[in-house]
Amino acid sequence: MPTRIKDYRNDIRTLEQARTHFDDMVVKILDMEYRNARFEKRVAAMKQQHESNTAAVRAEIELAETQLCDFITTHPELFQKPRTIKTNSGEFGKRHVEELKITDETECLKTCKRRGYVECFKEVTSLIKKALKRHLKAGDKITGCTLKEGDTATYKVASTLLEDSRRRAET
């Protein structure tokens, strides 16, 4: 027996059927909006509870980090070679880090170009869609792109209805 993938007998045939169909669809959308809002409310409550339940542990970790940092900075001679101390739990110590901060990108770029430091910058070429559309509409053929035009079916649920569904979930 063949598998039915579309039953045309239920298609909308009149404007009145379309209106009724849309209204029925909006009821389902509003129900989904309500359910989503209730879910988000429960998630927010769980996050708040988690924050409350773990506040003391987070404070203990912060204190322990501060104490370890103070020890490392107070005793630099212990972290020369090796720079880190390994334990069964992991490692702690010093690590060399660098951070490049560009305070004036324009001036930096000019200097690099003037000095010939070509490995320090790149020039990027990108397509401008607005201009491409204009050429295609004028009848130009451009290999690698096409312009697709036409109408699409759309719908929009009244924002007040969506907001009401979310508000109902708050109570």
pLDDT tens column, 9-31? 778 889 999 999 999 999 999 99
Is the whole-model pTM more than 0.85? no
Q: What pLDDT shows up at residue 153?
A: 86
pLDDT in tens, 109-131: 999 999 999 999 998 999 999 99
pLDDT tens per residue across span 40-79: 999 999 999 999 999 999 999 999 999 999 999 999 999 9
Q: What is the 3-state secondary structure (H, E, C) of 25-81?
A: HHHHHHHHHHHHHHHHHHHHHHHHHHHHHHHHHHHHHHHHHHHHHHHHHHCHHHHCC
Instruction: Return the domain boundaries, the chain.
Output: 12-148+157-170
